Structure 1
Amino acid sequence: MPRFLVVLDVDSTLIENEVIELLADAAGSGRAVAEITARAMNGEVDFEESLRARVATLAGLSESVFGEVGRLVRITPGVPEMIAGVRDAGGRVAVVSGGFHEIIDPIAAQLGLDYWRANRLEVVDGVLTGELVGAVIDGTAKADTLIEWAADFGVPVAHTVAVGDGANDLQMMAITGLAVGFDAKAPVRDEADVLMDVRDLSQLLPLLGLRG
């Protein structure tokens, strides 16, 4: 049986939440940020431009907000079972996200993920500046990351699976062996090989021949 590398989006895929919206709620900009997020996930606006606009509204928040928001995050049903099934079959599970390391790092460690990559928020003297640090993880970066991790794992891209829900996932979904739209927005529904509309990621296992 081939080994698979499963690469998932995070917000509204690995987790039930949109972290930028939780952070924005704490900053009092929740409604405006939710509208921008919806437009970005539907491919109506440039992702990096939209991300920087949303992050700018977080300026002035204390870095303690990461702990507060982290406690609100809920893992999507079926995630532990999916990870166990893939790992037991010799595969690896990873996430690449337009979200933020500050929230994803503890989740990835808790779940025992093999790889993860995300954006990083700038913090100066314990306060968010409303800026990002380093290159933005956008659609192109997600695709490049999937290729990088497949090479590191020693599997062909044909043995990778990309799971996502928004326009920012389309480039990695276009190159993967199996593109899974998970409770997906319109652009992804048009391009995915398989659609999953029940929010249970253990459904991925039968697609990989790992559970009947």
Structure 2
Amino acid sequence: MIRVALVDDQALFRAGIRMLVDSQPDLEVVGEASDGREGVEMVRASAPDVVLMDIRMPVMDGLAATAELLADAREGVPAPRIVMLTTFDLDEAAARAIRQGASGFLLKDADPEFLLAAIRTVHSGSAVIAASATRELFERFADAAPRPVPPAYGELTDREREIFALAARGLSNAEIAGREFLSEATVKTHISRILTKLGLRDRVQLVVFAFEHDLA
């Protein structure tokens, strides 16, 4: 069972998402909050697997709440996967949230089926949500000058660099496997090793890393 938490200041929106999530046999809502401060306390108490976090809220916004929860993770506390919710496509705040460790973002008017698939995808940690949109965010809002490539990138093998480049373009494991004539299991192993070597949490951060260092 995937445990989901909702943090949004609109009660009607939360009610709709709760009904949708609770209608699924493999998903359950374990907590709700109406602002970021309340959300942080709720997440710490309920330990959800995935948090749907609105960006703009009173008391504490979603960016600050996300930063606080991910800081908990750096201190050894298991961190949930956090998906930012926004009403604006190409939202600079969403870009900032992904930079600091959120696992993706969704528009609030996304189709119900897409939202459910996104929760499962983020929970699995195996794919990027809206990778092309994530790249658009960074192309629009990131600093113009690329950052120096960290030494850790030099530790990747030639094969890992090939797979890194394809993953950075948003290709799925199946698509990479087809292009590289590998099994999906082998691709998954390579992706895991790449993330470990680069100190990245998931494929969203891989896309961010590639763009910021001009490696995509």
TM-score by length of 1: 0.37
| Greater share of residues in strand | 1
